[in-house]
Amino acid sequence: MIGGVLGFIGRHWRGILLWVLVAIGFWWSVATFGAGNVLQILFLIFATLFQLAFAILFVLIQFVALFWFLGRGRVYWIMPGGETGISFKDYRGNEQVLEVSARIVTLLRGVRDFKRMGGEVSRGLLLIGPPGTGKTYLAQAIATEAGVPFAYASAPGFQNMFMGVGNLRIMMLYGKARRLARKYGSAIIFIDEIDAVGTARTSQMGGGMGMMGGMFGGGMGMLNTLLLEMDPPNVDTSWKARILRRLGLRRGKAIQPVVLTIGATNIAEVLDQALLRPGRFDRKITIDAPDFDGRKDVIQYYMDKVRHDPDIDIDKIAADTVGYTPVSIKYLINEAAVVAHFEGRDYVSYTDFSEARETNEWGLRQPIRSMSEKERRRLAYHETGHAIAMALLQPENELYKVTIIRYGSALGLAASTPLEERYTQSREEILSEIKVALASRAAEELFLGTGLTGVTSDLQQATRLAMGYFGFYGMGNSFYSYLAMPSGLGGIDPDTKRRIEALLDEQYREVKQLLAEHADEVHIISERLLEELELHGEDVKEILESRGVKREPVGVAALTGYTSGLALGQQSNGPSDSPGPNGNPVDPPDNQVESSEETDGKSDS
């Protein structure tokens, strides 16, 4: 007994001494000043302390309220039963991605059974892919199918000019998600553009983007908070659970509610490795643009939502939209409906779709009515050079259109589409693309006797292909790769430049010889262009076949067709004569259609 008392005194002697001194001071004050005066002094002290405490509490409440307001951020919550209109039946174009997503939903629905089996539900799912491939759409479909609370947040929305606000927003978001997960079994947080806060710390210079956050590492602080919230320690987070554990009424391991974080990015390579490790984003799904069958599925889905020609060729539309994302296809179909509406029809045809696609890819159709006949002739021969080269050198592609009407910033263009989808290119295909790019200059030199400034993008394209030929694909006499060297290190050595120049010169001479051999066809097509301003691929094909011109296959198809255009403002002054390969004029054939002054009047057609 005595030992216990002495032990208590030993542990708490400072507190006991303080209270003894207070008691001595109180009785001394009573003896000196009288009981009435002491009570007045105590009341004054109490009133002063109360005012001070109230002022501190008021400032604290203001501070907490300010940070609560700033920490809310912009997060959209969709609760179970909320009508989003998006489910797995609305997600089209990628069956494999849908299958993986369905498994995740099954786990979220049966969390308790899966845990009893001894499994651990994934905490993170990272969706990787270009914009428009349906990452956000898929996340919403997962939430709808799982029947759990779904939060949509944009990572840049976490950033703030005040240090710590971004961290607070992340903590508040996950705090609410855990509360809802306890009620509904699980919850989903979708963070769009997660690279805004998840950039690797070794590449951050403070991060954060905000004034205070950027200077003092706010970006790194938000990343650290996100890492902790995605994989938190097993401790009780609710006040009820903490009280029960304090009272000894809750024993055993603390159980964290299941919160699935879905992140979306198109630059996964910049993310911090701690985010990508198992336990955080342990599942990664790459969502790319759909293939031919996927595009057919997407096109059919959106076509069913609008009135359209029952005979419209879905396969042809799918072939025309190589590389298009589901969002792009949806946009094109809606634009086709707009075109049809202003044409006075209540249904969409293939022509409407083609017009919408051309505007989307090339820009607004803007004929230049005041263009002189001389300028039109220059454009016609320039684009005919491209068209002839495409038609004769690229049998795996189909010439789509050649025009001297302005689209966007291009005064004219020639475009082709692949006959079938391909994912590789052969040596022969690269060389044929170089020839197609240089065919415009060859046509200018052959038939106009000069060079025009409109070949700027053509030369750039040809040079880029030649650089890849030697430096990326190992198709020259060296396997040296530029990609193995740090960016910008040393540039291109003089020997490689000479080889590139030699390759370009060789391809130029070959395509120039090709155009010289088909000079009559070049003249016919150019004059038809001057008359009609625009020719479809079938028109050019018909002209060539009528003259017995055939092309021979050179290899498998490229992934995308080549589009060449003479850019706005890249005209050149020069003679409009038509010299042949040796400098002598190449006369048009007897059946050549002569252009007339009425051409300008037809530019609206």
In degrees, rounded to 5, the angle at the alpha carbon of residue 503 between the alpha carbons of residues 500 and 507 is: 140
Q: What residues does 265 pair with on adjacent strands? A: 128
Q: Strand 124-128 and strand 186-192: pairing?
A: unpaired
From 538, 525, 520, select the one nearest 586 (Cα to Cα).
520
CA distances from 28 to 15, 20, 36, 46, 86 (A): 20, 12, 14, 19, 79
CA distance linking residue 40 with residue 46, whole number of Å? 10
Annotation marks residue 521 as catalytic? no
Distances (CA, A) of 116 to 113, 181, 260: 5, 18, 19
Residue where the block lists tokens 């290190």: 489
AA letter at 547: R
Give every CB contact of residue 604 below 8 A, 6+ residues apart in sequence. Answer: 367, 369
Phi, psi (rounded to 5 degrees) for 341:
-60, -45
Of residues 355, 383, 429, 433, which has the active-site annotation?
383
Give strand pairing partners of 348. Answer: 308
* Three-state DSSP class for residue 457: helix
Other Cβ atoms closer than 10 A to 59: 10
DSSP annotation of 234 reads: S
CB-based burial label for 365 (10 Å; 0-12, 13-18, 19+): middle
Map tokens 């209540």 to a residue: 346
**d(C-alpha 321, C-alpha 315), whole Å:** 10
3-state secondary structure 86-100: CCHHHCCCCHHHHHH
Between the alpha carbon of residue 27 and those of residues 21, 22, 24, 43, 587, the distances in Å are 10, 9, 5, 16, 127
Q: Identify the helix (H) or strand (E) that includes residue 153.
A: strand 150-154
Among candidate residues 319, 298, 320, 300, the one with its CA nearest the CA of residue 310: 300
Beta bridge partners of 397: 418
Instruction: Indicate the length of the chain as a whole number.
Output: 605
What is the DSSP secondary structure assignment for residue 405, as one 8-state letter? S
Task: Give the C-alpha separation, 155 to 303, whole Å.
Answer: 34
Beta-bridge partner residues of 77: 151
Residues identified as active-site? 383
